[in-house]
Amino acid sequence: MTNLRSHSSSNHYRLSNHTNPILETIIGVKKERPASSKRSQINKGAWTSEEDTKLAEVIAVHGAKSWNTIASKAGLKRCGKSCRLRWMNYLRPDIKRGNISEQEEDLILRLHKLLGNRWSLIAGRLPGRTDNEIKNYWNSHLSKKIKQKEKQGCKDEKRLVENGKEELREENKCAAGGEDSNISFDVDEFFDFSDEKFEWINR
DNA sequence: AAAAGCTGCAACCGCGTACGT
DNA sequence: TACGTACGCGGTTGCAGCTTT
């Protein structure tokens, strides 16, 4: 795919401490970066703190809807789509960033087993978490964990077969299985689907 | 100390769906 | 009903920072 994003390294800023960027702007922690190329009508690439502030201000007044209108009202050379993404994944005040707890991780694993890559649905069950964050966390942490588990499971299985412990092997099959394995379980053991977010499942 | 390789994650794109006219 | 636009989602990319050699 042709990448249209800005490639300038100086154009990129990073936040490793996972704090609210608006707050960082206020307290002056956030690193600044030069504005994107003047050649382009629409800015792409990393957001500046200035852009963040403008966007937050406009959303505070007009609400988080009509993203193209918000983009133009804020005077940002960004498309509505980009503004929406920035708000949803980064600027929202109720957002929780980093430090995914064991309980959350466990919930993500269970939900993923149940729903697959339906990141927005999974995020819907984790207050303050975004689909993007969960997707990233899955791809960088959990998928590896699962692979390791699978590997370990295969080793265990081999050992058991070698030992001729067929009964144990059958029991462990499920535990060693991958995400695509046909695990049978009672959905109700996992979640309460009375929640309106899961209306479609109930249907 | 420097280079190479790896990791995490912000932000992009394309596509499907919802909504308005 | 048909069409255009906006929105939301999942997949993917690529850079900064970290780790290893």
Amino acid at A20: N
CATH of the domain at A184: 1.10.10.60
In this complex, the residue with its CA at the shortest distance from the C1' of nucleotide B6 is A140
A97, A28 contact by CB (below 8 A): no
A37, A77 contact by CB (below 8 A): no
Separation between Cα atoms, residue A64 and residue A152, nearest integer Å: 46
**pLDDT profile of chain A (203 residues), mean per 10:** 30 35 36 35 80 88 84 85 87 81 85 84 85 85 74 66 50 41 42 45 39
A83 and A116 in a common domain: no
DSSP A142: I
Nucleotides of C under 7 A from a protein CB: 5-18
Q: Which nucleotide is nearest to A13 (CA to C1')?
A: C16
pLDDT at A41: 64
Separation between Cα atoms, residue A18 and residue A99, nearest integer Å: 9
What's the first-to-final CA gap in chain A, in angstroms?
A: 38
pLDDT at A29: 33
Task: Give chain A's domain count.
Answer: 2
pLDDT at A8: 30
In this complex, the residue with its CA at the shortest distance from the C1' of nucleotide B8 is A140
Contacts of A31 (CB under 8 A, 6+ apart): A13, A14
- Single out the residue in A91, A122, A142 at which a domain terminates: A91
Q: Domain range for residue A58? A: 9-91
